[in-house]
Amino acid sequence: MTDTQRSWEKRLAAKPDELTVDYVESLSYDRRLYKYDIVGSIAHAAMLAQQKLITQAEFRAIEKGLVEISEDIEAGRFEFDKAAEDIHMAIESALIRRIGEPGAKLHTGRSRNDQVATDIRLWLRDEIETLRAGIVQLQQAFVALAARHTEDLMPAYTHLQRAQPIVIAAYLLSFVEQLERDSVRLRNCRTLLNASPLGAGAIAGSTLAIDRQSTARQLGFADIVYNSIDAVSDRDFGAEFIFDCALMAAHLSRFAEDWILFSSNEFGFLRIADAFCTSSSMMPQKRNPDVLELMRAKTGAIYGALVALLTILKGQPSGYNRDLQEDKIHIFSAADTTAKSLEIAAAIVAHTAFRTQEIAAGLDAGFLDATALAEYLVTKGIPFRQAHGIVGALVARCEKQGRELGQLSLEEFREGTPVIEADVYDHLGAASVVRRYVSAGAAGPEQARRQLAFWQEHLAGQGHAGR
């Protein structure tokens, strides 16, 4: 520990206890901010030189030293000493050791409070782009699978009971829509956080003539955070980011739940490739969807991160408090888990085969055409509420006799209501029903093809999404 490493120690009579050192350090997790910390420091030093608070020669020495430190960290040559507390101190003290006095001028007009707020915003900007690219990958996997199944049918469920027939593509594209909103939410989050807190100092700014617009411009921020107290106090953008991850995790978890069910023997709708399944140590016949189960479970950790950060924020007095250091634990963990789940979800979707024949063979069960029959009666002039009752009675009759609606004779139909004619049979059966869907966004082949064309064009060659 050099003299310069913790200049604030001069204020305290005793060295921190080893327990304190361990408890307060963040270097073990904030070191991943190093590139952003260095970029921020170079921008700050360039501004100090512009404002003649340091000389050009001092700026060049600082820049060179920081670039070398960055290369050392990148190459794994840099020695992290937890006594340096955090990544900001680790880099600054290394700089001072390397270049001496110019290094000691870097922290002019700056505090770790605005520094860390800057770093985390810079990190999130990039992370958001990474996650949005991951979303596109998953969307593309769903779209590719959907393209193979614009005609193949499956039952749609409400309350996990067979509801109405749909094409498989429509089901798959529902996830693409959800993911698109996840992406837009992240983009909005990025827009809101893209303002520079740098130069807010500890809380009140500086008596030195620093130029905050200059550092903001250099770092690609759209603006500065105008109030220095707000700039160092809040992590609302972090909470918002985790919320976006949490909602994405909810979407992924519901997808996982579907595919766990659909891959079971009971459903038998799809088969996930062996490479994405695991087996049992005891039961030799097992092919388990553990990946999807873990995806479902990890949602809990992301929700936990959200609650953790919200709770960290709620009781703090205005200004920077050390509580804020823990924001990163939860932001990183939510981001990492979400990124990993997106990645493996895309791989699973790309390696799943729908068992279309088996699904089709089971479509006659469950009266999937009952709603369409009620709508047929509407076209014959019967009020829907009445039609609903008539079809309900027909279904009850069929159920008792172990028959399907399409197996009723015209006479039996007419006992329900005389308006039914021979054309009723064109309205029954899953395949006829899906072809008759005419409303926008319905789950039939025509609408699915239209949606598919939109997504294929929209996602083609995209690094990131945006409708």
One residue of 45, 90, 116, 434 binding ligand ARG per CB under 6 A: 116
CB 75 within 8 A of CB 81: no
CB 168 within 8 A of CB 152: yes
Q: Which residue has the tokens 């829907």?
A: 384
Measured between alpha carbons, how far is residue 45 from residues 94, 199, 271 in Å?
Answer: 16, 12, 57
Which one, 324 or 349, has the nearer CB to ligand ARG? 324
Is residue 280 part of the annotated active site? The answer reads: yes
Q: Which residues contact 79 (CB under 8 A, 6 or more apart)?
A: none
Catalytic residue among 159, 281, 409, 439: 159
> Which DSSP state fits 16?
P
Measured between alpha carbons, how far is residue 450 from residues 83, 182, 459 in Å?
Answer: 60, 22, 14
Q: Which residues contact 233 (CB under 8 A, 6 or more apart)?
A: 203, 316, 318, 319, 320
Q: How far is the CB of 94 from ligand ARG (least distance, A)?
A: 16
Q: How far is the CB of 186 from ligand ARG (least distance, A)?
A: 23
Q: How far is the CB of 323 from ligand ARG (least distance, A)?
A: 9
15: how many CB neighbours lie within 10 A of its CB?
12
433: how many CB neighbours lie within 10 A of its CB?
24
Which one, 26 or 218, has the nearer CB to ligand ARG? 26
Q: How far apart are CA 44 and CA 37, in angstroms?
A: 10
Q: How far is the CB of 22 from ligand ARG (least distance, A)?
A: 14
| 11 belongs to the binding site for ligand ARG (CB under 6 A) | no
Which one, 178 or 325, has the nearer CB to ligand ARG? 325
Q: How far is the CB of 286 from ligand ARG (least distance, A)?
A: 46
Which one, 33 or 306, has the nearer CB to ligand ARG? 33
One residue of 44, 107, 112, 149 binding ligand ARG per CB under 6 A: 112
Taking CB under 6 A as the binding criterion, the range among 110-118, 231-239, 311-319, 412-420 that sits at the site for ligand ARG is 110-118
| 113 belongs to the binding site for ligand ARG (CB under 6 A) | yes
CB 177 within 8 A of CB 143: no
| 33 belongs to the binding site for ligand ARG (CB under 6 A) | no
Which one, 87 or 349, has the nearer CB to ligand ARG? 87
Q: Which residues contact 434 (CB under 8 A, 6 or more apart)?
A: 153, 165, 166, 167, 443, 444, 445
Measured between alpha carbons, how far is residue 215 from residues 42, 89, 92, 149 in Å?
Answer: 9, 20, 18, 52
Q: How far is the CB of 113 from ligand ARG (least distance, A)?
A: 5
Which one, 301 or 329, has the nearer CB to ligand ARG? 329
Report the site for ligand ARG in 264-323 (rule: CB under 6 A).
Answer: 322
Q: How far apart are CA 350 and CA 337, in angstroms?
A: 20
| 325 belongs to the binding site for ligand ARG (CB under 6 A) | yes
Catalytic residue among 28, 264, 279, 280: 280
Size of the site for ligand ARG (CB under 6 A): 10
Which one, 86 or 244, has the nearer CB to ligand ARG? 86
> Which DSSP state fits 201?
T
CB 204 within 8 A of CB 228: yes
Is residue 107 part of the annotated active site? The answer reads: no
One residue of 167, 324, 382, 433 binding ligand ARG per CB under 6 A: 324
| 424 belongs to the binding site for ligand ARG (CB under 6 A) | no
Which one, 186 or 324, has the nearer CB to ligand ARG? 324
> Which DSSP state fits 278?
B
Q: Which residue has the tokens 């505090």?
A: 111
Report the site for ligand ARG in 211-240 (rule: CB under 6 A).
Answer: none
Taking CB under 6 A as the binding criterion, the range among 91-99, 108-116, 218-226, 270-278 that sits at the site for ligand ARG is 108-116
One residue of 41, 46, 62, 86 binding ligand ARG per CB under 6 A: 86
CB 328 within 8 A of CB 32: no
Q: How far is the CB of 197 from ligand ARG (least distance, A)?
A: 12
DSSP-H helix ranges across 75-208: 87-99, 101-104, 112-147, 168-193
Intra-chain end-to-end CA distance of the chain, in Å: 53
Q: How far is the CB of 227 from ligand ARG (least distance, A)?
A: 19
> Which DSSP state fits 354?
E
The catalytic site residues sit at: 159, 280
- In the complex, the residues that contact ligand ARG under the rule CB under 6 A are 26, 30, 86, 88, 112-113, 116, 322, 324-325
